Structure 1
């Protein structure tokens, strides 16, 4: 059974109706990204940051996995599949993927400011005054700009053992996630699925200029045989 490593980005979630929140000016719902996705922004205005993620969490409850997510579950019948995602939603899990690594955190979890390893499931609004057992304010379990990516080492270890790599809905321009491709064994077959693929062709690379809902089922059908 071959190891298939799947790297997913915003493109696969966008097809389920999840707002990527970033417009042409680089703003997130009218906010500078550093206002709502950085430790500095959190320290400056916790109420604003909590409201921003409460809206995202609320929207997440209104959407469902799409054909791209579901096709990856189908692939588990014949291959060992690990999904490494830059997305903070739970659509891969809801679709049925059994092995998902979240590089940038999870929207349906929160963590203690006092102890970053104290992580709780959280499906409703998070408000000022919601405290952990150490009487410290809870914050979104999201990796913000300027923070370390705690799951990166695990993601590297997984990628190093890939027999096949599938990249879906991501430009692979955001680091450190983009660096994972460098750890794939030489000559590993790579499938790149994106409507506007910004990647240079090479011998072991198959490019599908398709949305995830179209391209992922095609690749899975090919691999399942």
Structure 2
């Protein structure tokens, strides 16, 4: 199978690895992101099979402008990968700046809704596919997860709702829910602290961007009568913790 895939957040991590893998397998790739220089580098690496769209997914007007200028050969989009997103901070709820909550909601939910709603007509027309990058945080709470985990739980439930609404239209929807993955995620979350990221993943043998790219490729390669509803995956070295118990003194 091949066609045209649009990947949000293609400037790093999962999105970057997925763009390269799909191009290698004969797909035309559209990558979105805020960092024009990284999209240009990806264009240099992939060549004419890649088209970069520079905009922030929270900016609906900028998004619409980029789509209006989309070259004809990239307009028949078969797969949307909603990958762009972020976590900010590790503090517990009383200590989180409200603006960080707003940024996570605006990016992880509102921005994703903007691009999904825009593309639904063409995805329905082409009996296409939507792959949403959720997280194990959608299922398993942890201190400091608060709004980030909430946005990923929304994304899982939104995926199920889309499946219901696309009933009979031939559009497939998958929620991919990874555990510990070594990307820019923790560096962004900690405000640029590379050492915090290095410490978190040391000895873990975490999931890598290429692992998620392979998972997305597998989902997209399934026969059109098969829908993969959700995939939860973790590194072998990560598992489930017990409940917390606080005892009053």
Shorter-chain TM-score bucket reads 0.3 to 0.5
The structure carrying a bigger strand percent of its residues is 1
Higher relative contact order (CA 8 A, sep 6+): 1
Alignment TM-score, normalising by the size of structure 2: 0.41
